[in-house]
C-alpha cells in the first residue's frame, strides 16, 4: 500500500534538519502530463487521475490523523491569484514555493513537535501532471493571514 510508504517518507523528513529554505517539499506521487494530441482523451484521463489522487490524499490524511491527531485544513484559494514573480516575495518561503509551483489545493496539516506537516494535491495547469505532495516546515511565519494558523505553534 502506497499510503504506508508516504507516511514513512514524511515521518523521516520530520526528523531531518530543515534545509536553508526552511522546509522539505516532497513529491509523493506524480501523474503523467496531459499534453497529448487528443484533448478530450486527456480531459477524461485528467478527471480520472484527479479523483484517484484525491482519494489517495484522503487515505493519507486518515493515516496521518491516526499518527498525529485530527488535521486542520487551510484554503490556498487566495494564493491562486498571486503572480509568483511579483507578489510572492512577501510570502513565507513554503508558500512562495507553492505559488511558484502553482499548487493551490487545500492544505491538510498537523502540528508535530516543532514541525508542521502539510499534504495536498497540486495541479498547475491542464497540461501538467497531478502531484500528491507533502511539506514539512518549522515555520508558522506569516500566520494567520499568510500561513498556517498559529494556535499552539510554535510551542512555548
The string of pLDDT tens digits covering residues 123-139 is 877 778 889 999 999 87
Domain for residue 154, yes or no? no
Count the domains in the chain: 1
pLDDT band at 156 (very low <50, low <70, confident <90, very high): very low
Domain for residue 71, yes or no? yes
Cα separations in angstroms, 112 against 15, 52, 115 = 10, 27, 5
Domain for residue 40, yes or no? yes
Domain for residue 149, yes or no? no
Q: What are the cell numbers at 29?
A: 506521487
Q: What is the pTM of this model?
A: 0.85
Domain for residue 91, yes or no? yes
Domain for residue 38, yes or no? yes
Q: Mean per-residue pLDDT for 83-101?
A: 78
Q: Is the pLDDT of residue 1 over 90?
A: no
Least confident of 2-11, 29-38, 44-53, 84-93: 84-93
What b-and-e string marks burial along 75-84, b requiring 16 or more CB atoms within 10 Å of the CB? ebeebeebeb
Alpha carbons 108 and 59: distance in angstroms, whole number: 12
Domain for residue 84, yes or no? yes
The domain in which residue 36 lies consists of 2-137
Domain for residue 87, yes or no? yes
Amino acid at each position: 500500500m502506497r499510503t504506508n510508504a508516504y507516511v514513512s517518507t514524511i515521518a523521516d523528513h520530520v526528523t531531518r534538519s530543515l534545509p536553508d529554505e526552511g522546509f522539505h517539499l516532497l513529491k509523493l506521487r506524480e501523474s503523467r502530463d496531459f499534453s497529448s494530441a487528443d484533448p478530450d482523451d486527456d480531459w477524461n484521463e485528467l478527471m480520472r487521475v484527479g479523483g484517484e489522487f484525491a482519494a489517495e490524499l484522503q487515505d493519507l490524511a486518515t493515516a496521518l490523523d491516526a499518527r498525529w491527531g485530527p488535521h486542520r485544513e487551510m484554503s490556498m484559494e487566495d494564493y491562486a491569484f498571486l503572480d509568483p514573480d511579483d507578489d510572492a516575495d512577501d510570502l513565507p518561503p513554503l508558500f512562495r514555493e507553492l505559488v511558484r509551483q502553482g499548487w493551490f489545493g487545500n492544505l491538510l496539516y498537523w502540528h508535530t513537535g516543532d514541525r508542521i506537516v502539510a499534504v495536498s494535491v497540486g495541479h498547475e495547469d491542464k497540461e501538467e501532471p497531478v502531484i500528491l505532495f507533502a511539506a514539512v516546515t518549522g515555520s508558522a511565519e506569516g500566520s494567520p493571514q499568510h500561513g498556517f494558523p498559529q494556535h499552539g505553534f510554535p510551542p512555548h
